[in-house]
Structure 1
Amino acid sequence: MTWLEFFKTFAGPMATVIASVTAGVVAIWFGTVQAGIARSQAATSAAQKDIANAQLKIAFDKLKHDLFDKRYEIYLAAKGVIEGDIQSFSCERC
């Protein structure tokens, strides 16, 4: 049996083995790339979660500040009314 006859005899099975090995290598490569993408997406998601938590804290602090401003305006108005009443009360007795 010569090499030519050997290759003619086993060309079909050898082509099948080569194709299946190539497909396996490509599948492993794509799986590795996809796993890397998934890890990257998980890291991005964690960073987005941290950013959302920071934005939540900022929004809560802004709410507290806005409410303080409104309460302080009410305090100043009430203080002005009370001071006006006290001054008018004091002047009526003078």
Structure 2
Amino acid sequence: MTAYEFFKDFAGPIATVTAAGVAVFVTLKLGRRQAAAAERQSETARNKLMADIFDRRFSAYEAAMKTSEVALFEDSDQRLSNPDFHKSAYAAL
């Protein structure tokens, strides 16, 4: 049996197995890239969530500090008796 006869008889199965192997390789490569992209997106979303939570906490801290500054250090007799001041201060907190 010569090489020509061998490849003539088995060309179809060899091509099928080779194509399947290439398809598996490409699928694995693309899957790994998609997994890496999903991991980066997850990290980005986690960082954004932490930044948003920090911004909310910091705005509440600023509102509390501003309210206490007005109440403690400014001429606040009129402001403390004003119900609009209390409403805006509680709304900020």
* Length-normalised TM-score, structure 2: 0.71
Higher helix proportion (structure 1 or 2): 1
Corresponding residue for residue 78 of structure 2 = 77
Q: CA offset at residue 69 of structure 1?
A: 5.7
Alignment correspondent of 1:57: 57
Q: Distance in 2 between matches of 1:8 and 1:35?
A: 41
Equivalent residue for 1:32? Answer: 32
Query: How many pairs align?
Result: 79
Task: Answer yes or no: is 1:3 the counterpart of 2:6.
Answer: no
Give structure 1 stretches of 5+ with no counterpart. 80-94
Residue 45 of structure 2 aligns with which residue? 45
Q: Distance in 2 between the 1:78 and 1:8 partners?
A: 98
Task: Using the aligned pairs only, state the percent identity.
Answer: 29
When Rg is computed on C-alpha atoms for both structures, the one with the higher figure is: 1
Question: Which structure 2 segments of 5+ residues have no match?
Answer: 81-93
Structure 1 residues 13-48: Cα deviation after superposition (integer angstroms, max 9, x where no partner): 100000000000000111111111111111111111
Say which structure, 1 or 2, has more relative contact order (CA 8 Å, 6+ apart): 2
Alignment RMSD: 2.3
SS at match of 1:67: helix
Q: Any runs of at least 4 consecutive aligned residues in structure 1 with deviations exceeding 3 A, and if so which?
A: 65-74
